[in-house]
Chain A
Amino acid sequence: MTANGWLQILVFCGIAILLVRPLGGHILRVVEGQRHGLSRVFGPVERLFYRAAGVDPVGEQSWRGYALAMLAFNFAGFVLLYALLRTQQWLPLNPQGLPALSPHLAFNTAISFVTNTNWQSYGGETTMSYFSQMVGLTVQNFVSAATGIALAVALIRGFARRQAQALGNFWADLTRVTLYILLPLCLPYALFLVWQGVPQNLLPYTEATTLEGAKQLIAQGPIASQEAIKMLGTNGGGFMNANSAHPFENPTALSNMVQMLSIFAIGAALTNVFGRMVDDEKEGWAIFGAMGLLFLLGVGVAYWAETSANPLLQSAGVDTNLEGKEVRFGVPASILFAIITTAASCGAVNAMHDSLMPLAGMIPMINMQLGEVVIGGVGAGLYGMLLFVILAVFIAGLMVGRTPEYLGKKIEAREVKLTVLAILAAPLCILGFTSLAGVLDVGLVGLQDKGPHGFGEILYAYTSAAANNGSAFAGLTANSPFYNTTLGISMLLGRFAIIIPMLAIAGSLAAKNTVAPSPGTFPTNNGLFVALLVGVVLIVGGLTFFPALALGPIAEHFALLQGSRY
């Protein structure tokens, strides 16, 4: 660990914190339908969208109506994307003449981008036409992120409203978030990336003759426009196979810092939106504080683990583990990126997680297994964390023998049951499918590494899919019918089996009246509550996943110390 490494980490944290309030204020104005600086520019577009779609933005939906609209939109997006990927050979902007995707790969990819996972069983430059990248993937990058933000706002309304039947209008939320938050941020961001060196063109791949006379085919494309929303929407699906490690996606250490900040920006700001909407910003900062604590814990452990000695590498004369890392970033900026991207459900990578030290590679896994509540995906992180909040006040209530309340709302059996249902969905997929893949030949055939690391590759894959992250221990070859299908199912359940109960909770909370705080009310905007929340998140995750982690990265760590090779 170096002082310069910690300086980068601290500067990142400082800027991320500074962005929370201004961005939170803007998001609040947008989702409340108030006028703001961008209304003039995109207002006509917004009204045009409503008129064409026959939407009345003032008419609100119950939680069932909201859920139905969200599901219909996402299903339509899935069908369109699947169709595009299966027919890209006949569609324009395919200068390399790339063929259609296989049915199972198109199924997996369409689910992956609709659920904001962006797991990739393919390499971008060898698989996707420019048309598929732009019209298919970029669009879903936007709208899956907008869906997540809309859902988080709907849940916040559940907490903020009293005796209300409605949670908002999904169509209006989706349109406003896209037009007034995502698109206006992405335009300048994409141009910044072009300035830093990210290509943006529709040319065929260029053939170069290297200095030694060999041929090098250089893949390019409309990368910058997709890169911007890939980070800002915590999507993470790379234009290129190597993702943000590729110099064309992330050319400089400066672009790297901006990419890291843009992963956290909206997710962190949503905690402030929450605080403002429930009329106590400190409630938002308490949640942000719990997230920040878990984040710093992860960064510290991973940075320590990655810079401790690997006896195998050292005996070969390699003192620093730069396998899978880029020289321009170095170890600290690679580790920081790895923790941010898995805390936040992004899944972009600027270094290959498969080649991290065992315990350093375990932290990304844990980040995802905790439910991606450390900032989390745009929207998904906040509603995931609020589920843990319900669990935490329930446990606190049990300890003092009172009906738990949060923000004046009584948390009763229905909410707690739905919360547990939502929290158990992802672990069920992760542990179930990992066990299955670990004993089936179709699961084992895709492994590159043997021993505990091979098990880690499988565990990471299902963790990443169910948590809607999308990063990988990429030694696993996942483009097979078995993996594409089971990972696709994990992504679906990891997204919608959380969303539906979450919306039901929101509906149930909105209908309740608030009770005035009494001396027995457990305050939820102070350090004690932050500690309790962090404890609940860690205990639930630890009890669920410690045995699996012990078989993977922890076993690998001890094997490494003994000098075992696989």
Chain B
Amino acid sequence: MRVHVLTDTPPEPGVLRPALVLLLLMTLLLGLIYPLAVSGIGQLLFPQQAGGSLMQRDGRVVGSALLGQVFKGPQYFQGRPSGAGSSGYDAASSSGSNYGPTSKALMERIAGDAERLSQDQPGQAIPADLLTASGSGLDPHISPAAAEYQVARIAASRGLPADRVRLLVREHTQGRALGFLGEPAVNVLTLNLALDAAGRKDATGSP
């Protein structure tokens, strides 16, 4: 059997020195060396992700592939309601609405959004994610049903065949991870970028 030696030291300076020195060394190791090492290796291996998955068009940053943004125009797929910042999709102030399930304010917001959205497909049920705010307020995705709900509007406003728009939606839909994790999702920003690109190609005459 192991012998356990008891060496209780008097409180000071027996406790003070280890406490302060270990705290200082841990701070150096865990607060500086560790995050900087992850930064260095991360940027070497995965520069795009480490930099925030920024998307550029014509040399300008138009957003991040992982973050939603406000789309109001009828020619764009629209994302979910957002509680981030005062006007939504504030990527420097993420937040959900935090409305409880019995909240009057929540019901009023839903009724307002439903009235606006119902113009797209009068009489049809609106997919739930288009009427509910996400947890982050920056959800980059909508459900495939929510994309399908908007296809006719996009097609009409862009003068594209609906099936062409549907094809783009399919290309920007990711299935469940490993086939069973999470839910299928459509990335709104990359889809809208593809829509704009499709429009430009048509305008220049190439297929």
- Residues of A participating in the B interface, judged by any CB pair closer than 8 Å: 4, 7-8, 11, 45, 48-49, 52-56, 58-62, 64-65, 68-69, 72-73, 75-77, 80, 123, 125-126, 134-136, 138-139, 142-143, 161, 164-166, 171, 174-175, 178, 183, 186-187, 190-191, 194-203, 205-212, 214, 216-220, 222, 224-226, 229, 240-242, 245-248, 251-254, 256-257, 310, 312-313, 316-330, 333-334, 349-352, 354-358, 448-449, 451-453, 456-457, 473-475, 556, 559-560, 564-566
Residues of B within 8 A of A319 (CB): 125, 128
What are 27 A-to-B residue pairs whose CB atoms are below 8 Å?
A4-B176, A49-B22, A53-B25, A55-B18, A61-B6, A69-B15, A73-B19, A139-B26, A166-B5, A207-B61, A208-B64, A211-B193, A212-B71, A214-B69, A216-B89, A222-B39, A240-B94, A245-B134, A246-B138, A253-B176, A312-B107, A318-B132, A323-B101, A324-B98, A326-B134, A328-B185, A352-B97
Residue in chain A with minimal CB distance to B186: A327
Query: Of A56, A73, A186, A475, which one neighbours B99 at CB under 8 angstroms?
Result: A475
A55 to B11, CA, bound (A): 14
Residues of B within 8 A of A316 (CB): 107, 110-111, 114, 131
A225 lies within 8 A of B142 (CB): no
- Whether a CB of chain A sits under 8 angstroms from the CB of B159 is no
Residues of A within 8 A of B96 (CB): 242, 245, 323-324, 351-352, 354-355, 474
A329 lies within 8 A of B100 (CB): no
A203 lies within 8 A of B51 (CB): yes
A253 lies within 8 A of B22 (CB): no
11 more CB-based (< 8 A) A-B contacts, given A59-B6, A324-B133, A560-B101: A72-B15, A139-B27, A161-B4, A198-B49, A209-B61, A222-B39, A225-B39, A241-B94, A247-B138, A248-B66, A252-B182
Residues of B in contact with A, size category = 35 or more
Interface residues of B in 1-34 (CB under 8 A from A): 4-9, 11, 15-23, 25-27, 29-32, 34
- Whether a CB of chain A sits under 8 angstroms from the CB of B161 is no
Interface residues of B in 98-153 (CB under 8 A from A): 98-104, 106-107, 110-111, 114, 125-126, 128-129, 131-143
A328/B183 contact (C-beta < 8 A), A76-B20, A183-B34, A320-B128 known:
yes
A326/B177 contact (C-beta < 8 A), A73-B22, A248-B66, A448-B98 known:
no
- Residues of B participating in the A interface, judged by any CB pair closer than 8 Å: 4-9, 11, 15-23, 25-27, 29-32, 34-35, 37-39, 41-43, 45-46, 49-54, 60-64, 66-67, 69-73, 76, 80, 84, 89-104, 106-107, 110-111, 114, 125-126, 128-129, 131-143, 176-178, 180-183, 185, 189, 192-193, 196
Residues of A within 8 A of B69 (CB): 208, 210-211, 214, 216
Residue in chain B with minimal CB distance to A55: B18
Residues of A within 8 A of B176 (CB): 4, 253
Residues of A within 8 A of B104 (CB): 565-566
A210 to B196, CA, bound (A): 13
Residue in chain B with minimal CB distance to A452: B102
Q: How far is the CB of B26 from chain A (nearest CB, A)?
A: 6
3 pairs of A and B residues whose beta carbons are closest in the complex: A253-B182, A245-B135, A330-B183
Residue in chain A with minimal CB distance to B25: A49
Residue in chain A with minimal CB distance to B27: A139
Query: Of A75, A126, A190, A210, which one neighbours B63 at CB under 8 angstroms?
Result: A210
B67 lies within 8 A of A247 (CB): yes
B136 lies within 8 A of A197 (CB): no
A240 to B94, CA, bound (A): 7
Residues of A within 8 A of B131 (CB): 316-318
Q: Count of A-B contacts with CB under 8 A?
A: 397
Residue in chain A with minimal CB distance to B37: A187
A135/B181 contact (C-beta < 8 A), A123-B93, A245-B96, A560-B101 known:
no
Residues of B within 8 A of A328 (CB): 139, 141, 182-183, 185
Residue in chain A with minimal CB distance to B17: A54
A251 lies within 8 A of B143 (CB): no
Query: Of A136, A220, A323, which one neighbours B52 at CB under 8 angstroms?
Result: A220
Query: Of B25, B42, B91, B196, which one neighbours A219 at CB under 8 angstroms?
Result: B91
Residues of A within 8 A of B100 (CB): 354-355, 449, 453, 456-457, 473, 475, 556, 566
Query: Of A11, A166, A206, A449, which one neighbours B180 at CB under 8 angstroms?
Result: A11
A161 to B73, CA, bound (A): 71
Residues of A within 8 A of B126 (CB): 317
A452 to B135, CA, bound (A): 22
Residues of B within 8 A of A350 (CB): 135
Q: How far is the CB of B158 from chain A (nearest CB, A)?
A: 13
Q: How far is the CB of B126 from chain A (nearest CB, A)?
A: 6
A247 to B131, CA, bound (A): 20
Residue in chain B with minimal CB distance to A135: B31
Residues of A within 8 A of B38 (CB): 187, 190-191, 194, 200, 222, 224-225
Query: Of A72, A218, A317, which one neighbours B125 at CB under 8 angstroms?
Result: A317
Q: How far is the CB of B115 from chain A (nearest CB, A)?
A: 11
Residues of B within 8 A of A312 (CB): 101-102, 107
A208/B101 contact (C-beta < 8 A), A54-B18, A56-B7 known:
no
A69 to B180, CA, bound (A): 47
A310/B27 contact (C-beta < 8 A), A69-B19, A190-B42 known:
no
Residues of A within 8 A of B50 (CB): 194, 199-201, 224
Q: How far is the CB of B193 from chain A (nearest CB, A)?
A: 7
B52 lies within 8 A of A317 (CB): no
Residues of B within 8 A of A77 (CB): 23
B134 lies within 8 A of A197 (CB): no
A240 to B42, CA, bound (A): 19
A210/B62 contact (C-beta < 8 A), A60-B5, A139-B27, A316-B111 known:
yes
Query: Of B102, B114, B138, which one neighbours A453 at CB under 8 angstroms?
Result: B102
Q: How far is the CB of B42 from chain A (nearest CB, A)?
A: 4
A334 to B102, CA, bound (A): 20
A200 to B42, CA, bound (A): 7
Q: How far is the CB of B105 from chain A (nearest CB, A)?
A: 9
A56 to B8, CA, bound (A): 11
A23 to B135, CA, bound (A): 33
Q: How far is the CB of B89 from chain A (nearest CB, A)?
A: 7
A48 to B131, CA, bound (A): 58
